[in-house]
Structure 1
């Protein structure tokens, strides 16, 4: 048995894949402890995993309540600022665990890499979305205004990417100070030196969504979408079950589990539903964002496992988070994305290239545009055929034992497994 730490960083779409990993590792007899924001304690414990709180609950809540978190560029800065501030609490939590054989963490959990350098604990970097790979071959679309960059020659992109990376401006100074305080040589660049662990890189999205590129890390294993949504622990609420059983399929709307700035999203959604005349389910943990006095054809719920809910859906409208979008693929439902920041523009672009949906920017997300886009998704056969193709890609799931053995080999150097 190995002592394994999982260190997700972010919202539900970032945490749930690590819960999935934890379930698999625990089933193989390992002790698994998960360190993340207090918000997810119940989810982690209900999945049968040990939980260690990261920092204070109000710190994470303050970040997601900052409206700038959903602005392109500014939102990324806030995330990396918060990631840098979280290094010391993360490191304290790691060191409180005693002996650790292996860590799995995203690149934003800088403390995991610090613990690797300080204590020699093997680390697997886990990437959940292709936008983290600044490839000169298939360059991610981090902002709609950067489409021109994809058309540039490889030599030009190599020169451009050799310039200082914004993440180093946002987070590196604080990380350097913490490194020096812990007797660890600071990285010259977080992006170039600490982005991918030398011990292994795990990619949790399939090749049909993003093919590996020549400049991706060599010590990499590409898997598929985990599709963890806690459906094992949470059934649909009776009110929702009754609503879904009453008539035809619904359009599902969600701005993301961490989005508490979504009043406009739901106002636009309500007008589009009225124009189309369909039934809809609004999913948000902040129901006060939803317009008052909604008609009977719209039901609001605070949570529903998408793997269950989307079985009753005819279209899926959301923010473009990778976990949310993967559930739409698995359900074979055409999708409409309002891409705001982070990896969302790139995810929306990949959705469109697959032909399984439409991407809109925040500015484009108006009642008229959403009504027109939804009408296309509901009525044009091409979207349904492409969505069905994506769903078919889930028919043959890879053997999870292969993944588990690969993970275990990262900790086997000391004869622990």
Structure 2
């Protein structure tokens, strides 16, 4: 049995897949200490892990923002990485000092892990970086993370990628890089090594990306430590039983079901996606199902006759009934849809969502509306196209088959155990 520390920022989309990993670790006989925000203490203890609280400045998730593009990346790095760094690193260092860990597993936005890997192996435990977002790694084959640009092909695309990567690292995010370096120096005395902050996973002993290769841009310069294990959502889904609403029986296959949600983070303003979807599909022969992401139903606009809503829904049971999934592009939700072969209409332009949206179009699993505030008629036209053109469902089913064949949490733990045996 190994002693493992699992780390996650206090956000549903980050904690959920890491809980799936932690639960499986415990089932395999490993001891798990789980470091995250106090709002998840009950969920952590429910799976049999020991709860470790994050410190001041890191306990609560940041508020969502309407920023897009590079401004969104700057905001995200400040809110998710730089500001919480002290409240992440000090509890993690204290936990390791109090009782050494055999390994640390941390989702990629957890800056304390990036600080840890800058220190020599032997003075710290092995680190496994867990990719719960679209792959952020810089590459000559891809545009920089956050711009939502597909990679392209040929010499001109490679030139574009090189130019954009240089500009982002040396101009647009230069100040962000400086702030990251300052945090590392202040908290652990580690000096800058010239690496870009979005590439810290290259220095981890293992980089476990929670998707399949078929849903990620090819990188000829990918690091040797990168492995694809498939999404962890299938394991996280079983963490709790979500009660079904009283209208559940209406989803009987008599007409297509269109499922729309803005997730559990970017759901403060339903006029962005849910409202236009309800308006655009009000006269269509479909059943529109809305999840508010735990917000009260009273926050929704009036529901048309063909719409049903709930604060939270059991995706694992709902998605097999769904014909089209409309989303702002949360990584976990995209994988839930593809696991079930459901085509996607995606409308997201904040945080990491442009990257997920671009991959939806690149992989042929759906339509990217290229905005976070689509018009009702654009949503209606996209839904009609997805329902009538079987290529999108076939594309999603293709990714779903790859997900079904992926090793999942067991494969990740197998690799971790093999790594520890060699240590």
Normalised by the size of structure 1, how large is the TM-score?
A: 0.86
- 3-state DSSP class of the match of 2:104? strand
- Structure 2 equivalent of residue 173 of structure 1: 179
- Structure 2 equivalent of residue 36 of structure 1: 36
C-alpha displacement of 1:71:
2.9
Structure 1 position 266 matched with structure 2 position 274? yes
Gaps of 5+ in 1: none
Preserved contact between residue 262 and residue 289 of structure 1 (Cα < 8 Å): no
Are residues 178 and 296 of structure 1, via their aligned partners in 2, closer, same or farther at CA, if it must alter by over 3 Å? same
Which of 245, 253, 263 does residue 256 from structure 1 map onto? 263
Distance 1:192 1:315 in 2: 33
Structure 1 position 359 matched with structure 2 position 368? yes
- 3-state DSSP class of the match of 1:361? coil
- 3-state DSSP class of the match of 1:4? strand
Distance 1:303 1:187 in 2: 44
Are residues 67 and 130 of structure 1, via their aligned partners in 2, closer, same or farther at CA, if it must alter by over 3 Å? closer
- Structure 1 segment 195-210 matched on structure 2, within 5 A: 195-210=201-216
Distance 1:184 1:353 in 2: 39
Preserved contact between residue 80 and residue 167 of structure 1 (Cα < 8 Å): no
- Structure 2 equivalent of residue 157 of structure 1: 161
- Structure 2 equivalent of residue 305 of structure 1: 314
- Structure 2 equivalent of residue 340 of structure 1: 349
C-alpha displacement of 1:248:
3.8
Q: Deviations over 1:122-150 (max 9, x none)?
A: 11122234441222124467335x56986
Q: Deviations over 1:344-377 (max 9, x none)?
A: 2232222223322111122661011001111112
- 3-state DSSP class of the match of 2:219? coil
Q: Deviations over 1:281-327 (max 9, x none)?
A: 11122235743442453222222232211122111100112111011
Distance 2:145 2:111 in 1: 24
Are residues 143 and 408 of structure 1, via their aligned partners in 2, closer, same or farther at CA, if it must alter by over 3 Å? same
Preserved contact between residue 330 and residue 353 of structure 2 (Cα < 8 Å): yes
- Structure 1 segment 290-301 matched on structure 2, within 5 A: 290-301=299-310
- Structure 1 equivalent of residue 85 of structure 2: 87
C-alpha displacement of 1:107:
3.3
Q: Deviations over 1:354-412 (max 9, x none)?
A: 32211112266101100111111222232233333333334434375443221123434
- Structure 2 equivalent of residue 222 of structure 1: 228
Structure 1 position 182 matched with structure 2 position 188? yes
Distance 2:303 2:139 in 1: 45
Distance 1:307 1:140 in 2: 33
Distance 2:372 2:214 in 1: 30
Structure 1 position 96 matched with structure 2 position 88? no
- 3-state DSSP class of the match of 1:157? helix
Distance 1:184 1:294 in 2: 55
Normalised by the size of structure 2, how large is the TM-score?
A: 0.85
- 3-state DSSP class of the match of 2:89? helix
- Structure 2 equivalent of residue 280 of structure 1: 288
Distance 2:397 2:188 in 1: 52
Q: Give the aligned length.
A: 410
Which of 72, 96, 115 does residue 69 from structure 2 map onto? 72
Distance 1:147 1:192 in 2: 18
Distance 1:172 1:139 in 2: 22
Distance 1:58 1:254 in 2: 27
C-alpha displacement of 1:55:
3.9
Q: Deviations over 1:47-78 (max 9, x none)?
A: 333332324699635x22x433x533332222
Are residues 288 and 304 of structure 1, via their aligned partners in 2, closer, same or farther at CA, if it must alter by over 3 Å? closer
Are residues 289 and 202 of structure 1, via their aligned partners in 2, closer, same or farther at CA, if it must alter by over 3 Å? farther
- Structure 2 equivalent of residue 105 of structure 1: 106
Distance 2:270 2:247 in 1: 22
C-alpha displacement of 1:15:
2.1
Distance 1:352 1:193 in 2: 25
- Structure 2 equivalent of residue 12 of structure 1: 12
Preserved contact between residue 19 and residue 44 of structure 2 (Cα < 8 Å): yes
Structure 1 position 125 matched with structure 2 position 150? no
C-alpha displacement of 1:6:
1.4
Distance 2:160 2:304 in 1: 54
Moved more, 235-244 or 81-90: 235-244
